[in-house]
Structure 1
Amino acid sequence: MSGLLIIGASYAGVQAALAARDDGYAAPIRIVADETALPYQRPPLSKAFLLGTASEDSLILRDDKFFRDRGIDLVLGHAATAIDRHAHTIALANGDRLPFDKLIIATGSRARRLDVPGADLPGVLTLRTLSDAHHLKAELGALSRLVVIGGGFIGLEVAASASKLGKSAVVIEAAPRLLGRAVSPAVSQALLDLHRRHGVDIHLDDSVARIERSASGTLVVTCTSGTRLEGDRVLVGVGGVPNAELAAAAGLPCGNGIVVDEHGRTADPDIYAAGDCSDHHNAFIGRRIRLESVQHAQDQGKTVGSAIAGRPAPYASVPRFWSDQYDAKLQIVGLSDGADLHVIRGRPADGAFSVLAYRDKRLVAVDSINRPGEQLLARRLIAAGVSPTPAQAADPAFDLKALLAGPAAEGARA
């Protein structure tokens, strides 16, 4: 059975399969994955699942019947080990070989490991998979203090969950502010204040030199500043590494991920890649980039599936990200790389505000905390290429929606 073969039951892999089928691809479709669980949601792993408000069953994207009804075969619990481009087959760890006419690599990313002494000690954990989440959840139940290395999305979400469970948490971040590459300084400060109000001890502009086991059995993290922080467990959240090894071993060009064109196609016309593992050119910042977000994975997966079904359309979605921490819903639209002006709309002290980021007088990103309506509007503005003036952005009485019906919007659409 040839047809479409997808490596990875990720958001990108599942969406690619559904898009291909919905757009008329009639040949067999198979999704191969190393995990035994049905395709599942990953964002709740660091939040609702750890807190016990979401069960494993509630994380499942679709049940078996859904895939069967669409003629999509799931091959779970079998890791792909090699791609033979000439024979149009992949090898599995159990020795089987599966043929394909078209192949999609949707292998996602894995947690980046710390390259310091002691990083491999028992009790030094990461969070990327459902199995990781089960392990961390069990560990959180017994510990009293958690040391989190990394003030990114995963690190902050786990710190917030630990705090809500009544645990003591400390965060070590190497950069001078939280989420420094993702959000504006005002949002970084708001998150810092939020975590400190909940009792989380945050150390900025400091990195880890080593991790050791104390005589009492706890873990001691020594920072380059000389600060020593002790905890029952350590959670490492320092970013992700694309799972591009299969592609690289098959001779496909890889940069920060698997290099693809605007349709998700690799250098081999029969092989595509989508999601966290793909390195694509992003029209909004004018350079190649690798994105890790559910929205990107779904949108690029749809692009790839549609292209394989014979309905190609360039990938051009506006990037979006989100994070829930305590009672704060952080939402981001666009990419603020190289922003030279930030305008605050609303009052950070009220716990609900947005920051509009500009580059060369053009609106390129909007960060919002507890302003979902403004995020919806920001998506439309950025997608339409419409930029409010800084004065308009800063004026809470100014109706930004009116700009979408004005001459600027018409000109942007032309």
Structure 2
Amino acid sequence: MFSSCINRGVRKTPSTGTSPSRSMGQNSSRGSYSLNQTNNVQDRPGDVSIVEAVVCSTNDLENGQMKEVEVGEHKVLLVKEKGQFYALGNKCTHYGAPLSKGSYCDGVVRCPWHGACFDVRTGDIEDFPGLDSVHTFQVEVQDTNVLVKADTAAFNNFRRVKKMSRYEPSDPREVLIVGGGPASVVCTETLRQEGFTGKITLVSKETDLPYDRIKLSKTLSAKADEIALRKEDFYRDSDTTVLLGKEVTKVELGAKQVELSDGAKLSFTTLVLATGGRPRKPDIPGVDLANVFTLRTVKDANAIAAKFKDKHMVVLGTSFIGLEVACAMVSHAASVSVVGNSAAPLLHVFGREIGEWIQKLHESKGVKFYNSNSIAEFEGQDGVLTTVKLKDGTHLQADACVLGVGVVPSTDFLQGSGLNLTDNGYILVDKNMRTNIENVYAAGDITQFPLACAGNESVNIQHWQMAHQHGRTAGLDIAGKGREISSVPYFWTVQFGKSIRYAGYHHGYDDMILHGNLSENKFVAFFTKSERVTAAASLGWDPVVSQFAQLLAKGGSLSKEEARQDPSALADKLNKS
């Protein structure tokens, strides 16, 4: 590898002895062309420090291939597509995963850990989680050498916020966004990033700025400002009015206004509903005793954190929240008991084999399970929980209990509004997140929408990633740049440091093909319906789930017979899609 540096405009000749071409734009007659002209570093200082390096030969990469290269002391992702080279930041803006270890297809690189996608030409984020884009860098081809130039300011912060417009008082449009989750935040920034200059107001019944809610079950002591999706100055800089501690209690679609719990009214020209869910509270005697908790907010998590040290804890529910809370508590609690009505944890998600492996993992850390069971009664003294009685008659000592039995949509206030709701209270939307009422959108956990990778079946997907994408889709449509949602569901769960990835939609699956060895904490599971793979899950086998998600996103498919082959063959399948 050859490298050279330019600092404050002073050029040093590359050690290859080849003079860098000064041509801008393609010039094949001179054997040199330049790509990715824009560095897209926001607020670049007046003094520009450039680092550059010859990173490879033009023949070192095939079309559709990517690799990590070094530019100075920094890692950069290099991609070759249709004979052209692109360079961009190599860290995913969610948790910093190396994108070079992810999946690539047709101009989009997907993170190996949690599925975020980035356009290699612009660096813009295309799918989530995470909010920010990555930097792109200038590429020049000199004869057979591939030269990458980068402004070192881009390496100071690998996250890039796209340029945003501001409010113009002459613009009469008013977008009102109801809800304090990721769908609301992404909708807000998408509007400003796409040039929307009308008024934007975000209303949340929580008293904290929108935060990374999925961290709560993993880190119960987390503080709202530590996990905020955006800081206060971000909303100020984007001219977004944020009203906290305000709950919308009524929507008057004809009058284009909403009523708040304090009696105040807010008008809108466009309404976005993203109120999320509220924890399901089962009808069990004693459920209102002190120290019986649900988990939805920072305050809920902190209240649980204040109770579990050296205490006897019971968790009701063997899905994601219940199991992640058990992981967080067991090393500090006197005991942790998990009660569930299925034969194994996460049975409906991963099947019996993986569910039993998850249970053994928990048991090895001290968690005790009571499967195919439920809580018959919460017993207490002086209004405080002391004992949990199970359906089979077992009594468990309990200083506190965490209820993790799902959520219901927070849409009660919409009954009779004229919006089309399902019997379960979900809002029906189309592929642009539009409801049946003009200029009214819905996003996130409260929606039922057409899922592209499931043949446009109308589904409810309560994934963190999907809520982001809903917000983006609604924002694009409101800004006049509509793009139908085609995102593939992608989620993950961390169980005692073991991160299981999942992509697809396997409701009604009839078989599972398992590769690897569960006892060695390495596996890939393909879930099939008839002769087609509808979802994939993995542990320790990156980036196979991201490759599968990419395949579905590009309109491809995987047959049951293909799923029986080595999972590494997915890379070849993806390249041919």
* TM-score between both structures, scaled by the size of structure 1: 0.92
- The answer on whether the counterparts of 1:154 and 1:237 sit within 8 Å (CA) in structure 2 is yes
Alignment: residue pair count = 403
Alpha-carbon distance in structure 2 between the residues aligned to 1:28 and 1:323: 38
Alpha-carbon distance in structure 1 between the residues aligned to 2:567 and 2:318: 34
Aligned counterpart in structure 1 of residue 206 of structure 2, from 12, 18, 35: 35
The residue that corresponds to 1:210 in the other structure is 377
Aligned counterpart in structure 2 of residue 160 of structure 1, from 318, 321, 327: 327
The residue that corresponds to 1:63 in the other structure is 231
Aligned counterpart in structure 2 of residue 266 of structure 1, from 406, 428, 435: 435
Q: CA 1:160–1:398 in structure 2 vs 1: closer, same or farther (change >3 Å)? A: closer
The residue that corresponds to 1:412 in the other structure is none
Alpha-carbon distance in structure 2 between the residues aligned to 1:223 and 1:304: 45
Alpha-carbon distance in structure 1 between the residues aligned to 2:413 and 2:239: 26
Ranges in structure 2 where 5+ consecutive residues have no aligned partner: 1-171
Alpha-carbon distance in structure 2 between the residues aligned to 1:230 and 1:402: 54
- The answer on whether the counterparts of 2:279 and 2:295 sit within 8 Å (CA) in structure 1 is yes
Alpha-carbon distance in structure 1 between the residues aligned to 2:516 and 2:486: 30
Tell which deviates more after alignment, 84-93 or 377-386.
377-386
Which runs of structure 2 are paired with 1:14-413 in the superposition (5 Å)? 14-48=185-219, 50=220, 52=221, 54-141=222-309, 143-213=310-380, 218-255=385-422, 256=424, 257-286=426-455, 287-390=457-560, 392-396=562-566, 398-406=568-576, 409=577
Deviations 1:255-303 (A, max 9, x none): 1311111211112112111001112232333532222111010001111
Alpha-carbon distance in structure 2 between the residues aligned to 1:250 and 1:261: 18
Shift of 1:398: 4.7
Alpha-carbon distance in structure 1 between the residues aligned to 2:314 and 2:256: 46
Runs of 4+ in 1 over 6 A off after TM superposition: none
- The answer on whether the counterparts of 1:363 and 1:382 sit within 8 Å (CA) in structure 2 is no
The residue that corresponds to 2:116 in the other structure is none
Name the SS of the counterpart of 2:250 in structure 1: strand
Shift of 1:181: 2.4
Alpha-carbon distance in structure 2 between the residues aligned to 1:219 and 1:166: 15
Alpha-carbon distance in structure 2 between the residues aligned to 1:228 and 1:30: 50
Q: CA 1:400–1:210 in structure 2 vs 1: closer, same or farther (change >3 Å)? A: same
Alpha-carbon distance in structure 2 between the residues aligned to 1:164 and 1:104: 42
User: What is the letter of the counterpart of residue 263 of structure 1?
Assistant: N
Fraction of identical pairs, as percent? 32
User: What is the letter of the counterpart of residue 439 of structure 2?
Assistant: D
Shift of 1:214: 5.3
Structure with the largest fraction of helix: 1
Alpha-carbon distance in structure 2 between the residues aligned to 1:2 and 1:26: 8
Q: CA 1:45–1:362 in structure 2 vs 1: closer, same or farther (change >3 Å)? A: same
Q: CA 1:306–1:387 in structure 2 vs 1: closer, same or farther (change >3 Å)? A: closer
RMSD: 2.0
- The answer on whether the counterparts of 2:502 and 2:536 sit within 8 Å (CA) in structure 1 is yes
Deviations 1:125-154 (A, max 9, x none): 01011111111111223x521100000100
User: What is the letter of the counterpart of residue 247 of structure 1?
Assistant: L
User: What is the letter of the counterpart of residue 308 of structure 1?
Assistant: I
User: What is the letter of the counterpart of residue 207 of structure 2?
Assistant: T
* TM-score between both structures, scaled by the size of structure 2: 0.67
Q: CA 1:388–1:106 in structure 2 vs 1: closer, same or farther (change >3 Å)? A: closer
